[in-house]
Amino acid sequence: MDFNDSPEEAAFRTEVRAWLEANASPKGEATGFNRARWSEADALKRAKEWQAKRAAAGYAKITWPKEVGGRGGTPIQQVIYNQEEAKFDVPTGFFDIGLGMCIPTLMTYGKPEDLKRYVKPALLGQEIWCQLFSEPAAGSDVAGLRTRAEKDGDEWVINGQKVWTSGAHYSDFGILLTRTDPNVPKHKGLTMFYIDMKDPAVVVKPIKQINGGANFNEVYFTDLRVKDSQRLGAVGDGWKVALTTLMHERLAVGGGGGGNGPDYKELLELARATELEDGPAIRNASVREKIADTYVRTQGLKYTTYRTMTALSRGQQPGPEASIGKVVSAPKLQDVTGYGMDLQDQAGVLIGASDAPLEAAFQQAYMWAPGLRIAGGTDEILRNIIAERVLGLPGDIRVDKDLPFKDAPTGR
């Protein structure tokens, strides 16, 4: 048991690091939390440049075959690359959904000419993809979606609304799950397409969040016409295709926990700097216990990630423990940020970066934490998933399983 690279891994790490040093700048010191250093437009431009560069070097998708622009490498090599890249000041993230979910779906269900047309530009960062599944009435229950696609000759006419679409406003294409038959049970009447996001029949509106940000969009379709050749999988097989997409929505296996907001280290730092009624917060036993409780969860997640990486390193499938990340980290963030604000006493309400300790990291993350408990699967859905997929417990009773979709209760 150790934390060392195998000789091959070490060699790969050296190679990657050399390339990164030649092509990017290392990150500076403490950069603060949650604060965009560039405008989105700037970041997007820089990200596209960086993506082109790393794709050219074979680092964009290390596990993809060489024929499609990958490197034919191993999952652990991808992890090593990610770890090393994280030390450099490069903008990423814009391509994760496209390359992580959409293009793999296209690779499974698309025609050869689709692959030829779309894979390379996506890999090079020239075209960005988004994923259009969730709807206002279909959140946790994605298969309850209502966006209609109706056949009209060799085309489909699409009307409806998607929601919670990350990156819709800067995406060029999207994969879109639609209902093509409301007369069969809900999972059976779905069909998948890919669409041009720049079509004037597609309208994107940002969703303003509690914390003032707008990480997601609503997307409206009004008589959007899509060729039948843009269909992915058979008519009515959309759910099966979507499961392929979601299967690729793996937990990122990266450099370990944290990074998303203040954690036990920041709580320690805050406690050292803060006076309570009875003296410095760091001498207060309750504060100390909270630091320890937070540490244990954070480190537990970090070492769980190491276990997953070990499986990858040994060429094995990661175990089910990889599924616990967000159900631990999201409530932990909500807890630790609220606690940090409590330590600041009445001034805990101040959210200006210059008004509160640690550039108001606790306050800013506190306002985001409720979103983290929901986005990408609510706490409740994640527990269901662990119970069902990891522990093998039965699914919830599905009253709508055998009903034609149009007859399923909806409350409207």
Q: Where in the sequence numbering do the catalytic residues fall? A: 249
* Helices 264-273, 285-313: inter-axial angle, 10-degree rounding: 160
Binding mask 358-397 for a second copy (x = CB under 8 A): ---------------------------------------x
Binding segment for a second copy among 79-87, 122-130, 174-182, 285-293 (CB under 8 A)? Answer: 285-293
How far is Cα 361 from Cα 350, in angstroms, rounded to an integer?
Answer: 11
According to the binding rule CB under 8 A, does residue 285 interact with another protein? yes
For a second copy, the closer of residues 150 and 289 by Cβ is: 289
Interface with another protein (CB under 8 A), residue from 43, 44, 57, 351:
351
Degrees, nearest 5: CA angle 42-369-264? 100
For another protein, the closer of residues 231 and 297 by Cβ is: 297
Binding segment for a second copy among 24-32, 287-295, 301-309, 384-392 (CB under 8 A)? Answer: 287-295
Closest CA to 241 of 232, 228, 250: 232
How far is Cα 149 from Cα 235, in angstroms, rounded to an integer?
Answer: 10
For a second copy, the closer of residues 45 and 398 by Cβ is: 398
According to the binding rule CB under 8 A, does residue 49 interact with a second copy? no
Give the H or E element holding residue 331.
helix 325-343
List the structure tokens of 242.
């979507």
According to the binding rule CB under 8 A, does residue 260 interact with another protein? no
Interface with a second copy (CB under 8 A), residue from 96, 289, 380, 402:
289
According to the binding rule CB under 8 A, does residue 67 interact with a second copy? no
Q: Which residues inside 305-324 make contact with another protein, applying CB under 8 A?
A: 306-307, 309-314, 321, 324
Q: Which residues inside 219-278 make contact with a second copy, applying CB under 8 A?
A: 278
How far is Cα 127 from Cα 116, in angstroms, rounded to an integer?
Answer: 14
Whole-number Cα distances in Å, 356 to 349, 405, 408: 9, 52, 51
For a second copy, the closer of residues 30 and 285 by Cβ is: 285
Q: What is the size of the binding site for another protein (CB under 8 A)?
A: 118
Residues shown for the chain: 412
Closest CA to 81 of 252, 248, 245: 252
For another protein, the closer of residues 198 and 412 by Cβ is: 412
- CA dihedral (377, 80, 390, 298) in degrees, to 10, reads -70
Q: What is the distance, to the nearest Å, from the Cα of residue 125 to the centroid of all Cα atoms in its chain? A: 18
| Strand 129-132 relative to strand 173-179, pairing | parallel
According to the binding rule CB under 8 A, does residue 284 interact with a second copy? yes
Interface with another protein (CB under 8 A), residue from 58, 121, 139, 258:
139
How far is Cα 44 from Cα 40, in angstroms, rounded to an integer?
Answer: 6
Closest CA to 123 of 48, 182, 36, 208: 48
Phi, psi of 82 (to 5 degrees): -60, -45
Interface with another protein (CB under 8 A), residue from 12, 133, 193, 264:
264
According to the binding rule CB under 8 A, does residue 32 interact with another protein? no
For another protein, the closer of residues 232 and 341 by Cβ is: 341
Neighbours of 113 (CB within 10 A): 9
According to the binding rule CB under 8 A, does residue 131 interact with another protein? no
According to the binding rule CB under 8 A, does residue 29 interact with another protein? no
According to the binding rule CB under 8 A, does residue 285 interact with a second copy? yes
According to the binding rule CB under 8 A, does residue 179 interact with another protein? no
Neighbours of 287 (CB within 10 A): 21
According to the binding rule CB under 8 A, does residue 22 interact with a second copy? no
According to the binding rule CB under 8 A, does residue 287 interact with a second copy? yes
